[in-house]
Amino acid sequence: MNISTKNSKIHLRMAKPEDAELIVNFMKKLGKFQNMEESIIATPQRIKKLLSEKLGEAVFGYYENNIVSFAYFYKKSSAFTGRSGIYIDGFLVDDSMRGKGLGTIIFQFLCKYSVDNGCELLEWGCLDWNKQAIEFYKKQGAYCIDTMRIYRLSPESLLKNARLLE
């Protein structure tokens, strides 16, 4: 499924099980960026299974018809809040594409996807040394909820970001 955006150079596409190898490749890039390459042990077969069983989903970002970003996510719930949400497990924009708005568009898509699926939370983890990402998330209205640097959007911020794609 292709998703148009306000920027004619950027479009999004939901991943299919056949995209599992591409997801693993993006996760390896993310692991390298995070200095955690050895932690990325996913295989295309495992990712394909997760996608096929609807236990995980991914969206790819295209810039001028080249895949340059992705986000892998899954549905979750919180016993702390009694709310359902989406957890972003992997999010990467290629270095050469940063600053072109693609990360923001993917983030807004994830907000809209969350709202459209009855979710009230969008959460993810962020390494404490990744100051650029932290500033990006704060600009979206996210706040840190503990020392692990897990970020969450409130229902209001989630809806506000989701509406930016409308």
Show the tokens assigned to 54.
């609807």
Question: Can you state the angle between helices 44-52 and 20-33, rounded to 10 degrees?
Answer: 120
Domain boundaries, the chain: 2-163
| 27-64: pLDDT as tens digits | 999 999 999 999 899 999 999 999 999 999 999 999 99
Give the model confidence (pLDDT) of 134-165 as tens digits: 999 999 999 998 765 568 888 899 999 999 88
Question: 85-122: per-residue pLDDT in tens?
Answer: 999 999 999 999 888 889 999 999 999 999 999 999 99
Cα 102 to Cα 68: distance, rounded to the nearest angstrom: 9
H/E run at residue 163: helix 155-163
Q: Is domain 2-163 annotated with CATH 3.40.630.30?
A: yes
Q: Which residue has the tokens 């979206």?
A: 140
